[in-house]
Structure 1
Amino acid sequence: MGIKSFIGRRAKPQKGSSEKIKVSDYMTRNLTTFRPEQSILEVMEVLLKKRISGGPVVNDKNELVGIISEGDCMKQLSDSRYHNHPMEDVKVEQHMIKNVDTIDGDMNVLDAANKFLESKHRRFPILENGKLAGQISQSDVLRAAMELKGQSW
């Protein structure tokens, strides 16, 4: 499996600087997660109900095994219609992204903004001791920036 973790700068923060503002300070810990054996239809229902665009896929040990998104579901919807296959039996593990980029919870949140720009991802999972601990989204980084406004970047 290809999980890559980006580890940010770890220089000592200066008092009053934005250097001490870490990803873990702004990440979401209460996540909606999916299981590899779930059906794509069930994922679509959850995404719509919770108004989210995707989420991490974890195994029974809470280890990250992939990411599933609206786009992955839409591709399956299109493929099923084109090939006239029912979607009831289509599972998450067949269509999730398995090569997942993660970032370190200790990374400076403004450095994380650069990772979003470089990768074009909408979210990054954060692992602690090999387990899914949270996720940071682009909107989480924007919220951090608004709280930091007035400080030097």
Structure 2
Amino acid sequence: MGISNYMGRRAKPTKGSKEQITVSDYMSRKLVTFTPSQNVMEVIQTLVKHKISGGPVVNDQNELVGIISEGDCIKQISDSRYHNLPMDDATVEKHMVRDVETIDGNMNIFDAANQFLSAKRRRFPIVEEGKLVGLISQKDILKAALNLKQQNWK
């Protein structure tokens, strides 16, 4: 008796299948953003209030100019306390990361997962036509994986 290698007819991919799942399907669009002139203490309060680990910094035209994280804020607190300096003049602009890596919203979610692994980032902003349109985090990738597990994984 021979082994059959017959593959039945394959259904077209549906929304949510791995072939079509993109970053824009899981990115956050309602973002907590910061401005370059904002005080770092205000950023800390916002991070704690919203239970987030960082966020994009945008100018008046909603163009991405940087990103600030818990680590950036902790560094400022540590430096300020160590040197006994006030934090009144500690602005986001002085402590944000300016060279920000972004991800394309049309990128496949699995490629984005690999991007997180290789870049060792916690979040990537998504920019379209120079404007910030969203943000994808590692947690968003995990949500996508859970949704996929319910659909395809056995």
> TM-score band, normalised by the shorter chain?
0.7 to 0.9
Distance 1:140 1:19 in 2: 18
Deviates more, 1:16-25 or 1:65-74: 16-25
Shift of 1:19: 1.7
Aligned residues: 139
Shift of 1:128: 1.1
Shift of 1:151: 2.6
Q: Which has the higher contact order (CA 8 A, sep 6+)?
A: 1
Q: Which has the higher strand share?
A: 1
* TM-score, with length taken from structure 2: 0.87
1:130 corresponds in structure 2 to 130
Q: Which is greater in Rg?
A: 2
Write the mapping of 1:52-131 to structure 2, written as runs, cut at 5 A.
52-131=52-131
1:15 corresponds in structure 2 to 13
Gap runs ≥5 in structure 1? 1-13
Contact 1:36 1:92 in 2 (8 A): yes
Contact 1:124 1:136 in 2 (8 A): yes
SS of alignment partner, residue 30 of structure 1: coil
What is the aligned-residue identity percentage? Answer: 63
Q: Structure 1 counterpart of 2:59, which letter?
A: N
Distance 2:70 2:19 in 1: 34
2:33 pairs with 1:33: yes
* TM-score, with length taken from structure 1: 0.88
Contact 1:44 1:73 in 2 (8 A): yes
What are the Cα deviations for residues 92-136 of structure 1, in whole angstroms up to 9, with x where unaligned? 000000010000000001110000000110000001111000000
